Amino acid sequence: MTNFKVGIIGAGPSGLAMLRAFESEQKKGNPIPEIKCYEKQDNWGGMWNYTWRTGVGKYGEPLHGSMYKYLWSNGPKECLEFSDYSFTEHFGQSISSYPPREVLFDYIQGRIKKSKARDFIKFNTVARWVDYLYDKKQFRVIFDDLVNNETFEEYFDYLVVGTGHFSTPNLPYFKGIENFPGAVMHAHDFRGADQFIDKNILLIGSSYSAEDIAVQCYKHGAKSITISYRSNPIDTKWPKEIKEKPLVTHFENNTAYFKDGTTEDYDAVIFCTGYQHKLPFLPDELRLKTKNCLYPDQLYKGVIFNNNERLIYLGMQDQYYTFNMFDAQAWFARDYMLGRINLPELKLRTDDINLWKAEELATETGEDHVDFQTDYIKDILSYTDYPFLNLDKVAEMFKSWLKDKEENILNYRDKIYTSVVDGTEANIHHTPWMKEMDDSLERYLDETPVDEKELSK
């Protein structure tokens, strides 16, 4: 074992990627540092560890989860596949390209269950505060053990923050909303479309959450859905029950007033207005301060904090790529901590960050964003021995996914793609997504189409 100690905060896909990166090094017979990971929930998986709760968790902590029942992958699974663990290896069969949440959770767990990673994780433990001790070059982290209601501290030579950034709602105010008589919630608290059957719904915001919650509510029987946009409409071919309007200006009781002078009455309002990077356990000089973007400021190679080179952030970018990008970052972070990647001096690091930021600024379209994130991952992977991933092919799939959504937002999840990891062509799912109301793992892996099921009842 090398004689330094690494602390990881969060056991979501990013934190688990860090554990996996060290494990793969250990398997080669190489020494690894002492590692401890702390997770505030009672299980791993981060967002993919679904909860019915809203508001606070069992121990009164702000609730992390933003996922809902009936959530199916919003991009092809072939774009997020781990290059050292394919979907076919996990399920033993070809599955469709857009699996439901529970199926993706099962896949994430499959790889990590094969390791001893669970032994390194202390669950129900929340990071409360971090200090950097300049003389010792160590982080002192204060944790709360939620089960035993005890506070304790630990010291680390490197600290890895993988706490996600789609958890703390960004919740703007609109005049009169306080008197709106129906349900008002943020997407963070949306747990399923059931309560909106036959209702007229207003969604504020026009990005991923608005798009998917609109389609979910349509699928499950909402009467009408209006998406109110600040900058740009989503502008796809919506069914007649979904429409887009410019931004709401204010509310009077259940009536919304829009910028174009129109008004409409609603039963419920869902804020799909994004999330804040909230890192309340970090002091000012260590805290990443950024909006949701592809290249957050202050992060060299999107990973190493520029003000303190022993502080590492994973998964803090806006995400086209997810699980395999977290892997790339974790492999890079591992090799850096093991002393295999030399850090340039501060000025050169800052110049590098500024170059990437300028490039992001020049992007305009979804395709540009895909190319940007592809180039970023290629760059960090070039420093590591992460198993080869054909990123040019993955980028093509992302671009085709963007087109699929534009062509038909209601059935893009029925399309199939081919794995760049093992060449498996995805299976056409037994039931079209719009008709499939049961998102359980059992039902998904079952071979019977929905109409035959109905007949046999």
- Contact set with ligand NA7 (CB under 6 A): 74, 166, 170, 172, 187, 204-210, 230-231, 247, 272-274, 292, 319
* 230 vs 237, beta carbon nearer ligand NA7: 230
Packing angle, helices 366-381 and 323-337, rounded to 10: 30
Packing angle, helices 346-361 and 366-381, rounded to 10: 160
* 248 vs 330, beta carbon nearer ligand NA7: 248
Place of tokens 């989503």: 234
The nearest distance, CB 272 to ligand NA7, in angstroms, is 5
256: helix, strand or coil: strand
Pick the closest to residue 162 from 52, 313, 269, 306 (CA basis). 313
Residue type, 378: K
* 59 vs 208, beta carbon nearer ligand NA7: 208
Pick the closest to residue 64 from 162, 203, 211 (CA basis). 162
9 is a contact residue toward ligand FAD (CB under 6 A):
yes
Q: Which strands sit side by side in the sheet containing 150-156, from one edge to the other? A: 125-133, 138-145, 150-156
Place of tokens 């990881």: 8
For residue 173, how many other CB atoms are within 10 A of its CB? 7
**Interacting residue with ligand FAD among 10, 76, 100, 205 (CB under 6 A):** 10
127 is a contact residue toward ligand FAD (CB under 6 A):
yes
* 15 vs 205, beta carbon nearer ligand FAD: 15
Over its C-alpha atoms, the chain yields an Rg (Å, rounded) of 23
The nearest distance, CB 212 to ligand FAD, in angstroms, is 7
* 13 vs 33, beta carbon nearer ligand FAD: 13
The nearest distance, CB 133 to ligand FAD, in angstroms, is 20
Token digits of residue 271: 């804020």
10 binds, among ligand FAD, ligand NA7, none (CB under 5 to 8 A by kind): ligand FAD
Residue type, 4: F
The nearest distance, CB 191 to ligand FAD, in angstroms, is 11
**Interacting residue with ligand FAD among 196, 315, 389, 391 (CB under 6 A):** 315
Q: Which residues between 39 and 78 bind ligand FAD (CB under 6 A)?
A: 39-41, 46-48, 64, 66-67, 71, 73-75
249 binds, among ligand FAD, ligand NA7, none (CB under 5 to 8 A by kind): none
Q: What is the dihedral of CA 37, 43, 128, 15, to 10 degrees?
A: 40
The nearest distance, CB 350 to ligand NA7, in angstroms, is 26
170 binds, among ligand FAD, ligand NA7, none (CB under 5 to 8 A by kind): ligand NA7
Pick the closest to residue 77 from 377, 408, 425 (CA basis). 425
107: helix, strand or coil: helix
292 binds, among ligand NA7, ligand FAD, none (CB under 5 to 8 A by kind): ligand NA7
Q: Which residues between 360 and 419 bind ligand FAD (CB under 6 A)?
A: none
**Interacting residue with ligand FAD among 33, 76, 162, 274 (CB under 6 A):** 162
The nearest distance, CB 377 to ligand NA7, in angstroms, is 16
Number of residues that bind ligand FAD (CB under 6 A): 33
13 is a contact residue toward ligand FAD (CB under 6 A):
yes
Which span (13-21, 256-264, 337-345, 383-391) binds ligand FAD, by CB under 6 A? 13-21
183: helix, strand or coil: strand
Give alpha helix (H) positions in 362-447: 366-381, 391-407, 441-445
**Interacting residue with ligand FAD among 6, 7, 12, 373 (CB under 6 A):** 12
Cβ density class 423-433: b for 16+ within 10 Å, e for less? ebebeebbbeb
The nearest distance, CB 213 to ligand NA7, in angstroms, is 9
**Interacting residue with ligand FAD among 18, 32, 35, 80 (CB under 6 A):** 80
Pick the closest to residue 372 from 291, 295, 296 (CA basis). 295
Cβ atoms of 227 and 210 within 8 Å: the answer is yes
The continuous run of DSSP H or E covering 316 comes out as none
CA geometry: angle at 391 spanning 390 and 393, to 5°?
Answer: 75
Binding residues (CB under 6 A) for ligand FAD: these are 9-15, 38-41, 46-48, 64, 66-67, 71, 73-75, 80, 126-127, 162-164, 166-167, 281, 315, 319, 322
